[in-house]
């Protein structure tokens, strides 16, 4: 292989975090701390190794066990909603997956509670984030539809798997004025942000996005 070929290969396969950040800006993401954070988190460490060269592309990618990490813009949008509308105390995430969104939440919230129903992903995300020095996260292997075990009240709930109805346990654990972010498949696949106002929900934004389904029960390794 010539030096020219090698340079081409490096420039086309090297992770491109800065390019990803430029693309996020082009799509209107303007929270500087979030952009800086996403520019430094090694997204290539969160996807299946065979796809690490695509880690900073505008696409969802496999993370193992037939699950996917959302594309960067979707992650950024969900986080921007939280930063704009939520108190940054306690957040519950349903669907730990690779731990990428968890890592971002841990930067902004005092405490992150995260639940994953697939044991291998739960174990992997837990050790990955611990080795990155993340300390303010509590991990749970279980079915997130039943909420967090000891009924702690949350400032925000973020569901990163698509459901057709909202699990009641998840809205119950949300404080008044709390923020719910979840994907819905009606009328078309999208992610939405709502504020709990009494027994009503005020929609604060939606954006088209695709997510893997929210499933019942849990699966051991």
Q: Which residues bind ligand SAH (CB under 6 A)?
A: 63, 67-70, 94-95, 97-98, 100-101, 115-118, 121, 143-145, 160-161, 212, 214-215
CA distance 111 to 135: 9
Closest CA to 104 of 169, 184, 24, 48: 24
User: What is the C-alpha separation between 110 and 108, in angstroms, rounded?
Assistant: 7
Q: Coil, strand or helix: which one is 139?
A: strand
Minimal distance, residue 44 CB to ligand SAH, in Å: 13
Rg of the chain in Å (alpha carbons) = 17
Q: How far apart are CA 149 and CA 106, in angstroms?
A: 20
In the complex with ligand SAH, the residue whose CB is nearer, 23 or 98, is 98
Minimal distance, residue 63 CB to ligand SAH, in Å: 5
Which residue is at the shortest CB distance from ligand SAH? Answer: 97
Is the Cβ of residue 90 or residue 117 nearer to ligand SAH in the bound state? 117
18 catalytic? Reply is no
Q: Which is nearer to ligand SAH, 86 or 145 (CB)?
A: 145
**Catalytic residue ranges:** 70
């Amino acid at each position: 292989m010539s030096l020219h070929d090698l340079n081409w290969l490096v420039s086309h396969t090297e992770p491109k975090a800065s390019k990803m950040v430029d693309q996020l800006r082009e799509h209107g993401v303007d929270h500087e701390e979030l952009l800086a954070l996403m520019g430094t988190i090694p997204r290539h460490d969160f996807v299946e190794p065979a796809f690490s060269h695509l880690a900073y592309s505008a696409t969802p990618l496999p993370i193992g066990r037939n699950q996917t990490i959302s594309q960067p813009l979707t992650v950024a949008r969900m986080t921007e909603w939280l930063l704009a509308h939520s108190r940054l105390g306690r957040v519950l995430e349903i669907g730990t997956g690779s731990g990428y969104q968890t890592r971002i939440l841990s930067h902004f919230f005092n405490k992150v509670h995260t639940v994953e129903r697939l044991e291998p992903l739960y174990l992997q995300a837990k050790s990955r984030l611990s080795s990155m020095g993340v300390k303010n996260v509590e991990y749970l292997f279980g079915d997130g539809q039943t909420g967090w075990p000891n009924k702690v009240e949350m400032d925000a709930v973020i569901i990163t798997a698509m459901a057709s109805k909202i699990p009641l346990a998840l809205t119950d654990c949300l404080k008044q004025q709390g923020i719910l972010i979840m994907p819905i498949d009606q009328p078309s696949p999208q992610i939405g942000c709502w504020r709990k106002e009494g027994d009503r929900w005020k929609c604060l934004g939606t954006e088209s996005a695709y997510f893997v389904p929210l499933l019942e029960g849990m699966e051991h390794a």
